[in-house]
Amino acid sequence: MNLLTWLVEVFNSHWTLPGGQTLLIREVVGNVFGLASALGGMRRRVWAWPVGIIGNLLLLTVFLGSILSPEHELPSLLGQAGRQVMFIAVAIYGWVRWRQASSDGGQVTPRWAPWSARIGIVLIMVIGTVALTPLFRLLGSWEPVWADAWTFVGSLMATYGMARGWTEFWLIWIAVDVVGVPLLFSSGFYATGFMYVFYGVFTAIGFVVWARAQKGDKPQVDTLLPAPQVQRPEETP
């Protein structure tokens, strides 16, 4: 057996669950990398981004199920697959931002997003879901397609919020999980579904950790500069 054949067999290795359902090993491994990335993100470690990218690449191959693994008869979740691509793109952006903070001798400082950003995120999630639903349905994504579109747009906003250091990104993940878990179970992606259940608890903890970190972190450099002193005229006797 040559190396290429071995890699192909490992790539398509799976367990058969009760009821004849298929669980791809790379789906489990991809979610383990995702969990490690989430833990690193909660601790604001730069390595969280490259670890997450590896998990995204593995899960991308999983959600293109009917295309890459037709023998397992897994459905394609195009929203889930597409968001892995977007994860990678946004992760590169976040990786750069967090590396810049690290090179300055510190970490990304958690902060609340401005109200304009909060309103923008809500509008993007709602409008993006409505706009992408018919497109995903046309491309053959699993029903309910709106749930696939919601998880796609919400995941993009959550990853972007993490890159910017906005504490609210944890709350966006919770909104994604509430919709994403039933969708994943109904489409047969059990490993990812169970991982999302765990993420729901984990993201609540992460939100508390980041909210507390806002009180304990040092202020940004520009706030450490002394305020300009106003010269007062000399008093005359």
DSSP assignment letter at 110 = P
Q: Is residue 117 part of a domain?
A: yes
The label of the residue with tokens 């995941």 reads: 155
Is 132 within the bounds of a domain? yes
Please count the structural domains in the chain: 1
Q: What is the SS3 assignment for 14?
A: strand
To 10 degrees, what angle do helices 145-164 and 115-138 make? 150
pTM above 0.75, yes or no: no
In sequence order, which residues have a C-beta less than 8 Å from that of residue 200 and are 6 or more positions away?
174, 177, 178, 181
- Calculate the average pLDDT of the chain: 76
Element (H, E) at 23: strand 22-24
Q: Does a structural domain hold residue 60?
A: yes
Residues ≥6 apart with Cβ < 8 Å to 75: 65, 66, 142, 187, 188
Residues above pLDDT 90, as percent of the chain: 20
Look at residue 2 and tell me if it is in a domain.
Answer: no
Is residue 133 a part of any domain in this protein? yes
pLDDT tens-place string over residues 71-106 = 445 555 666 677 788 888 888 988 888 888 777 666
Among 69, 1, 16, 41, smallest CA distance to 206 is for 41
Query: Does residue 11 lie in a domain region?
Result: no
In a domain, 84, yes or no: yes
Q: Which residue has the higher pLDDT, 186 or 217?
A: 186
Q: Is residue 52 a part of any domain in this protein? A: yes
Q: Which of 26-30, 73-77, 96-100, 157-161 has the highest mean pLDDT?
A: 157-161
Range of the domain at 75: 19-101+109-214
pLDDT at 152 over 80: yes
How does DSSP classify residue 16? E
Average pLDDT over residues 116-132: 95
